[in-house]
Amino acid sequence: MRLLVVEDEADLRESLARVLVDAHFAVDEAADGEDGLFRALEIEYDGIVLDRLLPRRSGDAVLAALRAAGRTTPVLLLTALDAVEDRVAGLDRGADDYLTKPFAVDELVARLRALIRRAAGTPTPAVVVGDVEVDLTRRRVHRGGGEVELTSREFDLLEVLVMHRGRVMSRAALADHLYAEDRDLLSNAIDVHVASLRRKLGADLVQTRRGLGYLVDA
């Protein structure tokens, strides 16, 4: 899953990015509101971590512009303002959740995972497709009662497909959800990982729509 972190404090932004990468997210960064809004409108992120106090355009203004453009990307607002009216204002502008600085990074990761699941219509971390059970929190997969070992990238791809199950995902769309902007991608990387998932989890789990892409059937 791919996230955008919009934070003007460089040390905090880089620290957040490292934590989120370690939590198996692909992460892009923006240091001000203008750049953050541009990226958020150009790319279909799975979630956005947005500081409220930003140069060039405030987090509130970024959020308002994003929602006015019809984007429903889950947004977790970071704020140093702990007054009830400040938290309410952020939620009323379209934020899905908020954290007050300072915060525990484990809580940030857990809240982001929950926001992304809810946005995808998957409120619980366990997804069952046929005889395959995917634990999105523990990153474990079972088939027919036995655990199946997947590589980190294979799980990432499976996670995107099951979170968007029933929807055909093109190779380009899958890459957009899996890789940050600074990653080079081999032209056949998605196909290679799909083939591996089929070997491990059954040929029918990931279906092909010729000329369109892949899907996990709902």
- The predicted-structure confidence for 33-46, as pLDDT tens digits, reads as follows 999 999 999 999 99
Q: Are 78 and 101 in contact (CB under 8 A)?
A: yes
How far is Cα 116 from Cα 121, in angstroms, rounded to an integer? Answer: 9
Q: Are 168 and 213 in contact (CB under 8 A)?
A: yes
What is the reported pLDDT for 79? 85
| Amino acid present at 41 | L
Q: Domain 126-216 - what CATH class?
A: mainly alpha
Beta bridge partners of 148: 141
What is the reported pLDDT for 82? 67
197-215 tens-digit pLDDT: 999 999 889 999 988 999 9
What is the reported pLDDT for 92? 72
| Cβ-based neighbours of 160, under 8 Å, separated by 6 or more | 1, 169, 174, 177, 178
| Cβ-based neighbours of 54, under 8 Å, separated by 6 or more | 6, 7, 8, 32, 33, 36, 62
1 by DSSP, 3-state: which? Answer: coil
In the chain, domain spans: 2-119, 126-216
* pTM of the full structure: 0.89
What is the reported pLDDT for 145? 84
What is the reported pLDDT for 83? 63
Looking at domain 2-119, does it have CATH number 3.40.50.720?
A: no
Q: In the chain, which stretches have pLDDT less than 50?
A: none
Asked whether this chain's domains 2-119 and 126-216 adopt the same fold, the reply is no
10 Å CB burial of residue 41 (0-12, 13-18, 19+) is middle
Give the C-alpha distances (Å, rounded to integers) separating 106 from 12, 22, 48: 15, 11, 16
What is the reported pLDDT for 49? 97
What is the reported pLDDT for 185? 62
